[in-house]
Amino acid sequence: MRIGELAQRTGVSVRSLRYYEETGLLTPVRRPSGYREYREDDIRTVRAIRVMLAAGLGTGTIAELLPCMVDDGQVLAAACSGLLPDLNRERERINDAVAELLAARDVLDSIIDATAPTSGNGADACRASSW
């Protein structure tokens, strides 16, 4: 199948599919005419890429993990438990990022709570004041 059909069947843009190819995540067959030829297996590969991207993994990590993933059409899983340390490392990285975002929200909440409401247009008062 050509790239447009793969895009249609997976719901992924042609631009994204080309990016997956550039980064080595997707390897279509090249016809003598230069056209990309995709196989049915590429549909599962694209779906697996999308699942891992949604899980917060970067394309470099996906490139390392993708050859060892199994997709039964319902669930994406590692083919062997040897990938668990890598998956747990990524989970911890995401946990750290979530903690940083929650801390930033707490600081923002404290600024909001400490700000007295103003009557009228508060923007003019802010412009008039200086640090």
How many domains, in total, are found in the chain?
A: 2
**Same domain (yes/no): 86, 96:** yes
Q: Label the pairing between strands 29-30 and 76-78.
A: unpaired
Within a domain: residue 1?
yes
Within a domain: residue 122?
no
Host domain of residue 44: 1-79
**Same domain (yes/no): 25, 48:** yes
Within a domain: residue 125?
no
CA 63 vs CA 11, 57, 110: distances in Å: 21, 10, 41
Other beta carbons less than 10 A from residue 116's beta carbon: 5
Amino acid at 84: L
- Tell me the whole-structure pTM to 2 decimals: 0.72
CA 48 vs CA 11, 31, 41, 103: distances in Å: 13, 25, 11, 32
**Same domain (yes/no): 87, 67:** no
pLDDT in tens, 62-100: 998 888 888 777 778 888 888 888 889 989 999 999 999
- Which of 35, 34, 36, 31 has the alpha carbon at shortest distance from 20? 36
Within a domain: residue 126?
no
**Same domain (yes/no): 21, 57:** yes
Within a domain: residue 52?
yes
**Same domain (yes/no): 6, 24:** yes
Which residue would you say has higher pLDDT here, 29 or 120?
Answer: 29
At CA 69, angle to CA 47 and CA 54, rounded to 5? 45
pLDDT in tens, 16-54: 999 999 999 999 998 898 888 999 999 999 999 999 999
**Same domain (yes/no): 36, 63:** yes
- Which of the four pLDDT bands, split at 50, 70 and 90, describes residue 101? very high
